Structure 1
């Protein structure tokens, strides 16, 4: 029994010792937990503090950082800048702005680049996947993706809900007539900046500076009125296009000029292009260079040897300087005209002495060169310079070529220049000088803007005597009735003119089977109101199969006069009486 009592007593003391030790351990664990909790709170508070400090610092940094500029947006470009409308002399619209939108992206906000490209391609079939993917992968703040979208494309892209994609309002230039007046109006680039023609001229007059200052964004600008009559322009464009096709020529062109004010009523040069689409891409993605050749304006920006048309200026020079009269007779027999080892002969020789009207009618090189040699070379050169044929023309179009001439002039140069070889000038300059020959002798620089008669008179320069101009009107009428101008006759409109057929220079030598043909005409020649100059380059055929100017360039002038004279208010005259009433309603 004592043994059992001792066992229970030992167990009781042991139990008491364990309880006392456990109590002490419990108190230590609670203190540890409280300490750890305080540490965690301190760490959490420190984390929040650091986060707020970082956020505040980044906000301050963003506030002090300038906007990101990328290579996708040229500096100082205002994408929504407006341009003034362009209208013809009657107020018909030639060029205007359309409101468009363009697609852009903020690459840093794009969530899934592949998905974004795939969705955009479903709306924009011609989207360049590689290019767009590269742009969206970049870390820039702005990238153009597609300029000038249609409203339907904009709506469909908005419905896709792609984050980081947006639209920016822009202007697109629209030319209702397409290629009809391409070389007059010119065109703009995708940022609505003028690159050629009147569009470029408008920018040069201060519109570009206004754009840069952001002053043309929303306010409507006063329309720019041109001297062009779009009805006449459309007819001229149709005729030169058809002539190039029918005569299998490399190019063709024409200009209609007011002989008394210098206003350009119409001007066309083909091949041309559509200013709504100034460049085209081939299937392989490269630029169509053949299409871009249509940018070249052969009426003002190309020089040509104008051939026998220049005989008009040689005869005018002789008449004005008193070296000849209309009754002067020149020996143009079969004997060739020799000078400096060169021989000058007539293509349509009459093998007899010719008076001045006959020299003009038969386009005698011998007779014309003989007249030229009666004038000192410096005076001959000065006369052509006075007519504006040897210096760069002044007009609004930026595309103007500079004439070429021999340096120095020698006797043989004077002889060949007298009938249109050796000097190259622009067709527009030839038309302007031709107007001076028949309008009373006044040279008036051409303009593509309206000009009153009073303004023209203030600008005009008297270059030949009025009596000389009267003689030239007679010669033009004579050739129009009896000479090479017969193929340009239109009943009732009394057209007078002079043809020019010049051998083209190819690789520094004259090519016998390639011609540059032109025809300079005035109507009505008794009281000239308009000048028409037509050109055709390297025709392979023409009326009656002929390749000369009489069969190619002259018929073009005939068509232009017959279709445009009524629009220009020129009444036909039949016989010697007053204008006839053609129709009675």
Structure 2
């Protein structure tokens, strides 16, 4: 056998090492670098996969639990995100909702994502026929990223738009103000516009409060039942007499809280679009009028309270009253001496003018100021007008103001003033909020004796005077008519009058004042063609009292059985002596 010797350069075997040492050395030497690279790459890949899986898992959890889904590119800084409604409810005194907020969806578009503006606009007009096709097409063709298409869609409309499958159409959730009773209380409550901001009425006055405290309702002094009755009876009078406008007010005599306030014509705040200025106009607070003979209530109370006259005194009204170039006449003159009660129930202009002149202009002005008739009303509405009266208070002004001409006030001011003369003599600012009724300060303006005398005269005007059409059996209505000629291009126009009646019930213990005014009523067969307050407004007041009396829990009285029927005051009335009840 051939023996091989060790060649130069071969490794020597070291005793004690494995016989495969040479092969192992050859493996490490040839493949070490490639195996290490593969191993490191596998480890790196596994690590990156683990990290990616972990990140994706965390993102899924975040999206599922914490993120709110929002439309892409939707920016509307006017819509706030908050718990509860975006605007507080408004309710009547019994908790009936008059205004509330509902979550709705509004449609907008990103024109850059719209595939075909013409096609998209045409398809949208098919499901939303009320939109203007040209306007929508112009918006979809713009280079903007956000354009409104329609605000406050119904759920059915939202479903129809979604069915179009247009990627450029998107929705934004907003709050819509809703008025469940439509136009019934619109001039008191007002309305809020698209961006949920109050535009008129209490919605405007308390805009910040309604937004800052969305879960705290604003409670009104209004009783929706009374409001409905007044609104319905005024609407009935409008159909009969066709006036250009009407006002109805029900006032709580003790607290000054308004239970109803209606101005017609009105409008439905739920309907979109522009509103005519005539229906926006609140005749109850923003309108100022020469109220006519209802002002004789103030003149008579002033004369009695100052001691210038008593119920047994009187004035000669047999001839017209001449002051410089002015002549004052009576509508239906009695042509004789009249007692104070006769002047009141026959509504004598001459008698009221002489009574006012006997008191004097300075005292008259101060007296009317105490009753809040020379300043803006403090009622919680933005639509308030300042009264109009002469800067220089001359004798002719004193005389004409004595019977309700030459001074213009709002109906709500008139009601607050008259209420103060029959509630014991305390003036309170009229209010639309329950919370202000409780805090309403009272200021004495006439004595208790004068207040009782005025209740007696108001009752007499209904039983024996021009207010007989307002009488309601069992409720002892007191009141005063008013018929004022309106000013035209050539002075006072007899063909255009303002007819009104202010009623109080029950006169023995007054609870409510009810006022109705018709602006330019037309004669009707039922009124024998007359347009005066006694024929047009007084019957409306009577119907309102007949309906709200039972609602108020006031039981009809049986005549002759009440304690206040004890006669204490004797007056002369048309040649007879009349014993007045001690109201």
Alpha-carbon distance in 2 for matches of 1:299, 1:315: 24
Q: CA deviation at 1:102?
A: 0.5
TM-score (norm 1): 0.80
Alpha-carbon distance in 1 for matches of 2:342, 2:76: 64
Preserved contact between residue 192 and residue 198 of structure 2 (Cα < 8 Å):
yes
Preserved contact between residue 499 and residue 520 of structure 1 (Cα < 8 Å):
yes
- Alignment pair present for 1:193 and 2:197: yes
SS class of match (2:467)? helix
Partner of 1:110: 114
Preserved contact between residue 79 and residue 191 of structure 1 (Cα < 8 Å):
no
Structure 2 matches for 1:171-186, cutoff 5 A? 171-186=175-190
What does the per-residue CA deviation read over 1:246-269, in whole Å, with 9 as the maximum and x for residues that have no partner? Answer: 012111111000000000001111
What does the per-residue CA deviation read over 1:213-272, in whole Å, with 9 as the maximum and x for residues that have no partner? Answer: xxx7xxx51221111111110010001111011012111111000000000001111111
Preserved contact between residue 356 and residue 398 of structure 2 (Cα < 8 Å):
yes
Preserved contact between residue 361 and residue 484 of structure 1 (Cα < 8 Å):
yes
SS class of match (2:231)? helix
Cα–Cα, structure 1 residues 514 and 74, in superposed 2: closer, same or farther, change >3 Å? farther
Q: CA deviation at 1:127?
A: 2.1
Greater mean deviation of Cα atoms: 348-357 or 412-421: 348-357
SS class of match (1:256)? strand
Alpha-carbon distance in 2 for matches of 1:453, 1:395: 11
Partner of 2:231: 237
Preserved contact between residue 84 and residue 222 of structure 1 (Cα < 8 Å):
yes
Q: CA deviation at 1:75?
A: 5.9
- Alignment pair present for 1:256 and 2:250: yes
Preserved contact between residue 107 and residue 142 of structure 1 (Cα < 8 Å):
yes
What does the per-residue CA deviation read over 1:158-192, in whole Å, with 9 as the maximum and x for residues that have no partner? Answer: 12211121001112111111111111111111122
Partner of 1:324: 309
Greater mean deviation of Cα atoms: 416-425 or 88-97: 88-97
Q: CA deviation at 1:578?
A: 5.2
Alpha-carbon distance in 2 for matches of 1:248, 1:206: 40
Q: CA deviation at 1:145?
A: 0.7
Unaligned runs of 5+ in 2: 1-72, 564-583
Structure 2 matches for 1:529-548, cutoff 5 A? 529-542=511-524, 543-548=527-532
SS class of match (1:384)? helix
- Alignment pair present for 1:492 and 2:474: yes
What does the per-residue CA deviation read over 1:76-105, in whole Å, with 9 as the maximum and x for residues that have no partner? Answer: 554987111111111112111122100011
Alpha-carbon distance in 2 for matches of 1:97, 1:447: 25
Partner of 1:154: 158
Structure 2 matches for 1:76-225, cutoff 5 A? 76=78, 78=80, 82-203=86-207, 205-207=208-210, 210=212, 221-225=215-219
- Alignment pair present for 1:526 and 2:529: no
What does the per-residue CA deviation read over 1:11-39, in whole Å, with 9 as the maximum and x for residues that have no partner? Answer: xxxxxxxxxxxxxxxxxxxxxxxxxxxxx
Partner of 2:556: 572
Of residues 263, 267, 271, the one that matches 2:261 is 267
Q: CA deviation at 1:454?
A: 5.7
What does the per-residue CA deviation read over 1:293-341, in whole Å, with 9 as the maximum and x for residues that have no partner? Answer: 21111111100000000011001111111111111121111x2211122
What does the per-residue CA deviation read over 1:126-146, in whole Å, with 9 as the maximum and x for residues that have no partner? Answer: 222221121112121211111
Q: CA deviation at 1:453?
A: 7.1
Structure 2 matches for 1:266-415, cutoff 5 A? 266-277=260-271, 279=273, 287=274, 289=276, 292-333=277-318, 335-415=319-399
- Alignment pair present for 1:514 and 2:496: yes
Alpha-carbon distance in 1 for matches of 2:437, 2:522: 42
Alpha-carbon distance in 2 for matches of 1:451, 1:532: 22
SS class of match (1:305)? coil
TM-score (norm 2): 0.80
Alpha-carbon distance in 2 for matches of 1:313, 1:482: 20
Preserved contact between residue 184 and residue 228 of structure 2 (Cα < 8 Å):
yes
Alpha-carbon distance in 2 for matches of 1:174, 1:108: 34
Preserved contact between residue 360 and residue 475 of structure 1 (Cα < 8 Å):
yes
Alpha-carbon distance in 2 for matches of 1:156, 1:366: 72
What does the per-residue CA deviation read over 1:338-372, in whole Å, with 9 as the maximum and x for residues that have no partner? Answer: 11221111112111111110010111111111111
Preserved contact between residue 260 and residue 453 of structure 1 (Cα < 8 Å):
no
Cα–Cα, structure 1 residues 519 and 100, in superposed 2: closer, same or farther, change >3 Å? same
Alpha-carbon distance in 2 for matches of 1:97, 1:442: 39
Q: CA deviation at 1:373?
A: 0.8
Partner of 1:560: 544
Q: CA deviation at 1:544?
A: 3.0
Alpha-carbon distance in 2 for matches of 1:288, 1:311: 38
Partner of 1:60: none
Alpha-carbon distance in 2 for matches of 1:563, 1:86: 25
Partner of 2:408: 424
Alpha-carbon distance in 2 for matches of 1:401, 1:545: 33
Of residues 470, 474, 485, the one that matches 2:452 is 470
Partner of 2:35: none
